Amino acid sequence: MKRLCLIAVALSGVALVGCSRQSPVEPAGAAAAPSELSARAAAAPGTYDLFFLNRGQPVESLVVGQEVTLKAHVTSSAGPVTSGTAIFQYCSRPGPKNDITRADEAPKAECEAGTARWTTLVSVGLNQFGDAYGGFGVVRIPRTIGFRYQFSL
């Protein structure tokens, strides 16, 4: 399975962690028996990038109070992919959402460990440049947040 992860450095109080992923059909192991095959939607080979933007400019970290926008970019060997959907997600701990006194957002490591889960923010169609944008909003509590998007045709 091809997986591209971007990990940003925490410089000013809020770190952003991102991960974009495609899900091709592939066996679970090198010599997988038929019962061990993973049935997933086939995805075309390509490049799947995730960027973080503030006021339209790429960033690796934010100061508390700034807004972050997620940008998915999908290309194939023929150029930008102009159809399909990017499903933006963030890593979320169980409990209430949008509570300024208790952040539900978590680092991607917590989703990978199973103590948090990926929660969908928004699904957005790709434009003519192979891009899709999803707003996360203003970050109000210093923390590291895991992001990813899933691409589907």
- pLDDT for 103 equals 80
Q: What is the pLDDT of residues 58-88, one digit of tens each?
A: 998 888 888 999 999 999 999 999 999 999 9
Q: Tell me if 32 is assigned to some domain.
A: no
- Is 0.85 topped by the overall pTM? no
Q: Quick check: is 29 in a domain?
A: no
| 82 in Cβ contact with 126 (< 8 Å) | yes
Encode pLDDT of 32-57 as tens digits. Answer: 333 343 344 455 678 999 999 999 99
Q: Number of folded domains in the chain? A: 1
Buried b (16+ CB within 10 A) or exposed e, 55-75: eeeebebbeeebebbbbbbbe
Confidence (pLDDT) at 43: 54
Does the residue 84 lie in any domain?
Answer: yes
pLDDT confidence of 11, banded at 50, 70, 90? very low
Q: Count CB neighbours of 81 within 10 A.
A: 20
Containing domain of residue 18, as a range?
Answer: 3-24+40-152
Are 14 and 63 in contact by the 8 Å Cβ rule? The answer is yes
Asked if residue 31 belongs to a domain, the reply is: no
Which tokens hold the place of 80? 């930008």
**Has residue 104 been placed in a domain?**
yes
Does a structural domain hold residue 34? no
Q: Which residue has the higher pLDDT, 130 or 16?
A: 130
Mind listing the pLDDT tens digit for each residue in 101-151?
778 899 999 999 999 999 999 999 999 999 999 998 887 888 889 999 999
In-domain check, residue 97: yes
Query: Does residue 30 lie within any of the structural domains?
Result: no
